[in-house]
Amino acid sequence: MARIPITSLTLILISALSILNLAHCKTLKRDVKALNEIKASLGWRVVYAWIGDDPCGDGDLPPWSGVTCSTVGDYRVVTELEVYAVSIVGPFPTAVTSLLDLTRLDLHNNKLTGPIPPQIGRLKRLKILNLRWNKLQDAIPPEIGELKSLTHLYLSFNSFKGEIPKELANLPDLRYLYLHENRLIGRIPPELGTLQNLRHLDAGNNHLVGTIRELIRIEGCFPALRNLYLNNNYFTGGMPAQLANLSSLEILYLSYNKMSGVIPSSLAHTPKLTYLYLDHNQFSGRIPEPFYKHSFLKEMYIEGNAFRPGVKPIGFHKVLEVSDSDFLV
């Protein structure tokens, strides 16, 4: 029997039927209640774009702006909530944690205050949590470690205090972890090194202490890590030769710490190292010759140390800034 080709008209009909099916499904009452509670708490800046009682749309009314819904059985559920850069003022809307089918929660660039509620651990399907550029406070809740599907965690540019919870090491799919520009203290849990998929770790501009040796003490740690930002903290100690074992490492940013000692030549054998920032520490001695022959190393910045006269940087230094949006993949 000849196979009937799927024409453009067929695809259009399938798409139209899907839309009709979505339109005729009822939105789960749990999600309707939660979104209306959020609507009541967020104020006029969001309310003007959220028309009607059903966040997934009702009759001729479209879904609320920033709300994405999907059909599950006979119901519609909210799977994405993106309300950012609208100057939301007030505490984190706890009702969000009742949206149990959320895969993306993006509330960045607002003025949210107070803590992240521990109920955040209920969002088991969440893949992306973006809360950067707010005024959130208190400790990072360990319950985030219950979000087993999480791949992207953005908590930077807030006022979080306390230590980085070791429970973040319970996130097997985590790829990008942004914690910079907070008030975090203590040591980075070495357990984070067991994350097999972690590519980017940025804990810069905090009040963290400890040594690099402690951070990478677990054998085979950080197998996929490409970018490690620890700048503007209070790290001490030397540069351990074991850093060369991070075979995927491309950017190592250690500027403005209190590290000391000599730079081991073995570090030059980190195969993909491209950017190395050592400036404004207390390093001494010479830069081993293999660094100047490294195949990938484009920039090595060394000013503000106690290196011997004649030690030269590599490349031209510029302030290293990486946009969070570069990693939203």
Region of poorest pLDDT, from 11-25, 65-79, 278-292: 11-25
In a domain, 301, yes or no: yes
Q: If you average pLDDT over residues 259-267, what whole number do you get?
A: 96
Above 70 in pLDDT, residue 179? yes
Query: Which tens digits make up the pLDDT trace of 117-154?
Result: 999 999 999 999 999 999 999 999 999 999 999 999 99
Nearest to 177 by CA among 223, 131, 215: 131
Q: Name the phi and psi angles at 319, rounded to 5.
A: -60, 125
pLDDT above 70 coverage of the chain, percent:
87
Confidence of residue 10 (pLDDT cuts 50, 70, 90): very low
Torsion angle of alpha carbons 279, 285, 290, 294, nearest 10°? 0
Q: How confident is the model at residue 223 (pLDDT cuts 50, 70, 90)?
A: very high
Q: Can you give the pTM of this predicted structure?
A: 0.88
Residue 192 placed within a domain? yes
Look at residue 321 and tell me if it is in a domain. Answer: no
Q: Tell me, what's the pLDDT at 58? A: 86
Predicted confidence (pLDDT) at residue 11 exceeds the cutoff of 50: no
Higher pLDDT, residue 103 or 317? 103
In a domain, 14, yes or no: no
Average of per-residue pLDDT across 162-191: 98
Specify if 151 maps to a domain: yes
Query: Using 50, 70 and 90 to split pLDDT, how confident is the model at 6?
Result: very low
Long-range contacts of 112-119 (CB under 8 A, 24+ apart): 112/88, 112/136, 113/89, 113/137, 114/138, 115/139, 115/141, 116/92, 116/140, 116/141, 116/144, 117/92, 117/141, 118/143, 119/94, 119/143
Q: Is residue 249 part of a domain?
A: yes
Domains identified in the chain, total number: 1
Alpha carbon distances (Å) from 107 to 45, 48, 84, 112: 13, 17, 5, 9
**Least confident stretch, 25-34, 35-44, 160-169, 268-277:** 35-44
Range of the domain at 253: 80-307
Q: Is 4 inside a domain boundary?
A: no
H-run or E-run covering 16 = helix 8-24
pLDDT at residue 51, as a whole number: 87
User: Does residue 329 lie within any of the structural domains?
Assistant: no
Q: Give pLDDT tens digits for 311-328.
A: 999 986 555 555 444 444
Residue 45 CB partners (closer than 8 Å, separation 6+): 86, 87, 88
| Domain CATH code at residue 189 | 3.80.10.10
